[in-house]
Structure 1
Amino acid sequence: MNAFQLSATAAPPLLITGAQGTLGRAFQRICDIRNLPTVCLSRHELDITDPVAVELALQRHQPWAVVNAAGYVRVDEAEKDAALCYRVNATGPKVLARACAHRGVQLLAFSSDLVFDGQQSVPYTEGDAKRPLNVYGHSKSLAERDVLAALPRALVVRTSAFFGPWDEYNFVHYALQALRGGRVFEAADDLQVSPTYVPDLVNTALDLLIDEESGIWHVANHGTYTWARLAQLAAEGAELNTALVRPRPAAAFGWAAPRPAFSALSSNRGIVLPSVEDGLGRYLRDVSVASPDECTLKGEAVA
């Protein structure tokens, strides 16, 4: 019997780490909509790299599963702050996986399209070889390896370029903010990704977790776009001036971390999400009906 065969009052909670970040907030909101009880802990309330603290949290809250939404997400800063990036993105998930294995608890961890080197010309699937180009991608690759070694039944979701309606820390928000102000918005036109709408990502990941799936899954909206084209699509949907979107090569931005030229994701495990255009349409609708407070929820770079 799993947690969802119990009565609502008896059901154990889902423990969410990194509760103040983009994914943590989204999981809280969607679990509430789906009537799933949660315990949400910020990085200040739970240091996922501390084995004692993690063990105490699992003992106290008795979750049926843990969602690790904590992470170091500053890709360029990771190049000079590698120790912290590896600690949060690799050591932390390994500590969680070991504790979950010890207590028989399921774990959902997140990874990234940046585990790939971009040499393919077709979307990457779950079995493709990993060759990360930067510190951030390498930290995620190590986490995948160590989590599944410690807890083979863990669920690891790779995703890409996510954007959502509940905080302002995403590419689409920044693009629309600039365009609505009549300002030019520059974006790379030689990096191809699979943009992902956060509600689609979270709902699909929850479904996989409830269904007791395991291993690596790719969860991204359908479609392959450059960052510049994504900004243009957002502008079109919002009826803004697309001429203000200025495509530029990635090299012009002077980023410290190298990026793969092509990191689009697909799945050979039966996952099919709506198109990127569909996700953008719902993003624009959801932002337009959200309250000002809901649109300005603050995410954290290290959740």
Structure 2
Amino acid sequence: MLNNLSPNPVLITGATGTLGQAFRRVCRIRGLHAVALDRAALDIADAISIDQALRQYQPWALVNAAGYVRVDDAETDAARCHRENTTGPRLLADACAAHGVQLLTFSSDLVFDGQQATPYLESDLARPLNAYGRSKLLAEEAVLARLPSALVVRTSAFFSAWDAHNFVHHALSAARRGEPFAAADDLFISPTYVPDLVNTALDLLLDGAHGRWHLANQGTYSWVELARLALRVAGLDEAAVQARPAASFGWAARRPRYSVLGSTHGPLLPDVESGLHRHLEDEHLLSLPHPPAILVG
């Protein structure tokens, strides 16, 4: 186990994405020495680029926060999705094994087919319905085959005030503009508050955890229920949320009806409503003329 006093950095890929930015922020708050690189500085699907970065920065751990995230586009862009989500993690695992570096990489609830009616555990059979989910499952298998000490975190349905690219932000924004907001009422997920995810994933990395772990906040919600809860916590009119079946959105990729994540390790993150309250507190702080360096998180 290494600790946050290590002189070597945590190396973070995908510096400009949701997870990459969150890891940078949390590492700074926690006093963890970290270096975050964008694709121009580290292309995770290029073995030479990876090797150069590992030699230059000499990290004790690498957090892979890069990847292809457009679930529907992946159905017609499968080669690029595979490059970013499968080839990249595989090459990172090879390089981390060669350099003696710990690896944390992320997977998804979309590796499951949704046939269960109880939360999926790490040991449950993965059977993805779409190209994105397949790319993530292939990555899990490749990473753990090459680097059994790797930490693979499956997670789901991000939200936080730290960037605008999430469902909760869009639901709140629509309600504040007085506009209706449509959401699926027949798909069930376990929403994940990004600061909780990142802090817990870092704890696991520091503790030397390995294998597959499920990290999501506690609670089972349809997308409609999540939107309504967010508006209720914010004191907004829940009537702005319109319930629709998933089939009416015309998504190219099939989604599992139920992809709630549980864990054999027990509840590691707090409940979803706690995350929503902190989301709103951070929203307020970020709206100030001079936001504080440390947010609620």
Which TM-score band applies after superposition, normalised by the shorter structure? over 0.9
Task: Report the CA distance between 1:39 and its aligned residue.
Answer: 0.9
2:218/2:267 contact within 8 Å kept: no
- The equivalent position to 2:34 in structure 1, one of 28, 34, 38, is 38
In the alignment, is residue 110 of structure 1 matched against residue 106 of structure 2? yes
1:172 to 148, 157, 168: 168
Alignment partner of 1:252 out of 243, 248, 251? 248
CA contact (8 A) 1:167 1:294 kept: no
Question: What is the CA deviation profile of residues 106-165 of structure 1, one whole-angstrom value per residue up to 9, with x for unaligned ones?
Answer: 000000000000000000000000000000000000000000011000000000001111
- CA distance in 2 between counterparts of 1:159 and 1:267 reads 11
Letter in 2 for 1:182: G
Find the residue that maps to 1:156 and give its secondary structure.
strand
The whole-number CA distance in structure 2 between the counterparts of 1:270 and 1:130 is 20
The residue number in structure 2 matching 1:299 is: none
Structure 1 contact 106–153 (Cα < 8 Å) conserved: yes
Change (3 A) 1:292 1:168: farther
Match of 2:203 in 1: 207
Query: Structure 1 residue 4 and structure 2 residue 3: aligned?
Result: yes
Q: Is the 8 A contact 1:218 1:271 kept in 2?
A: no
Instruction: Name the aligned partner's letter for residue 219 of structure 2.
Output: G
TM-score, structure 1 as length reference: 0.94
In structure 2, give the amino acid aligned to 1:199: P
For 1:262 and 1:119, the matched residues in 2 are separated by 7
Partner residue in 2 for 1:239: 235
What is the aligned counterpart of 1:83 among 79, 83, 86? 79
SS in 2 for 1:40: strand
Offset at residue 293 of structure 1 (A): 8.9
1:290 and 1:240 map into 2 onto residues whose CA distance is: 20
Q: Which string of whole-angstrom CA distances, capped at 9 and with x for unpartnered residues, describes residues 93-117 of structure 1?
A: 0000000000111000000000000
Deviations 1:171-192 (A, max 9, x none): 0000011010000000000000
> Residue 14 of structure 1 contacts residue 66 of structure 1 at CA under 8 Å; is this kept in 2?
yes
Q: Report how far residue 44 of structure 1 moved.
A: 1.8
Tell me how large the CA RMSD over aligned residues is.
Answer: 1.4
| Deviation of the 1:4 alpha carbon | 2.0
**What pairs with 1:144-223 in structure 2 (closer than 5 Å)?**
144-223=140-219
* Percent pairwise identity: 61
283-292 vs 187-196, which moves further: 283-292
Counterpart pick for 1:67 among 57, 63, 66: 63
- Over 3 Å counting, the alpha-carbon distance change for 1:3 and 1:272 in structure 2 is closer
Question: Residue 21 of structure 2 aligns to which amino acid in structure 1?
Answer: R
Amino acid at match of 1:276: V
- How many Å apart are 1:292 and its aligned residue? 6.4
Does structure 1 retain, via aligned residues, the 8 Å contact 2:200–2:268? no
Structure 1 match to 2:116: 120
Gaps of at least 5 residues in structure 1 are 296-303
Return the offset for 1:288. Answer: 1.0
